[in-house]
Amino acid sequence: MPHPHLLVQPRTGYTWLRLAHPERRNALDVGLAMALRDALSADLEQPVLLGSSDPSVFCAGADLTIPDAERAAVSELVYDCCELLITRPGPVIAVVTGPAVGGGAQLAAAADLRVASHGARLRFTGPPGMDLVVGAWLLPSLVGRGLAMDLVLTGRWIASAEALAAGLVSRMVPDPADVAEEMAASLGARPAVKEVMAVGMLMDRLRAERRANQDAWAIRIGS
């Protein structure tokens, strides 16, 4: 179902998905997270570019202004989206041109490729006052255990230059959207590649992190 804060823009050979709520830093409520999940699953073979309508921001994660029960539902939907990003045959390129925080950072990192601007930065942290695990399931595969522990335990920012050197960002360029479009136009569905990449501990860690956060939300909502 169309959502006013998600732009679905078909192109020849690929589709743009642009988060379009910049006044809220593209923070996710239930409706927007659900629309993103549905858009990712609409045509699993089609390559996708995931970005923002406003280059100053990527995604701030769950909207902190909505009730806890809704934020817990957003968390569930983010993990649905991440599982789709990992398993769908069509490749996904995240175009990161601004801050990506929490669930937003996870969406960027779960994409197959990440093209970033010089001003992009990511932060793997949850909302203040909650003991959530954010990104521990995928960062070891991208940057190694040592840096993954640093980013998850401290919740510090990682800027695009450091992310590029660590392998968290695939490319850092002045015009990420243009470069990503060129890449997407040359890519087709690669089901065997995606299937092989998803085999092993990655999906187990995703589900373990999801369960840990379900428990944390249940304690908070029940208290």
Q: What is the CATH number of the domain that holds 199?
A: 3.90.226.10
Chain CA centroid to CA 76, Å:
13
Which two tokens mark 12? 């020849």
Residue 158 to residue 223: CA distance in whole angstroms: 34
The answer to whether residue 182 is domain-embedded is no
Total count of domains within the chain? 1
The answer to whether residue 209 is domain-embedded is yes
The answer to whether residue 52 is domain-embedded is yes
Q: Quick one: pLDDT at residue 136?
A: 98
The answer to whether residue 83 is domain-embedded is yes
pTM score, whole prediction: 0.96
Q: Which domain holds residue 69?
A: 6-175+189-222
Residue 62 to residue 78: CA distance in whole angstroms: 9
The answer to whether residue 180 is domain-embedded is no
Q: Quick one: pLDDT at residue 3?
A: 93
Q: Quick one: pLDDT at residue 1?
A: 66
Q: ∠ CA 105-70-137 to the nearest 5 degrees?
A: 35
The answer to whether residue 85 is domain-embedded is yes
Written as one letter, the residue type at 66 is I
The answer to whether residue 1 is domain-embedded is no
First and final C-alpha spacing in the chain: 34
The answer to whether residue 151 is domain-embedded is yes
Q: Quick one: pLDDT at residue 223?
A: 60
Q: Quick one: pLDDT at residue 129?
A: 82
Average pLDDT, 10 consecutive residues per value, the chain (223 residues): 92 97 97 98 95 97 96 98 95 97 98 97 91 96 97 97 98 97 87 84 95 95 79
Longest dimension (CA), the chain: 51
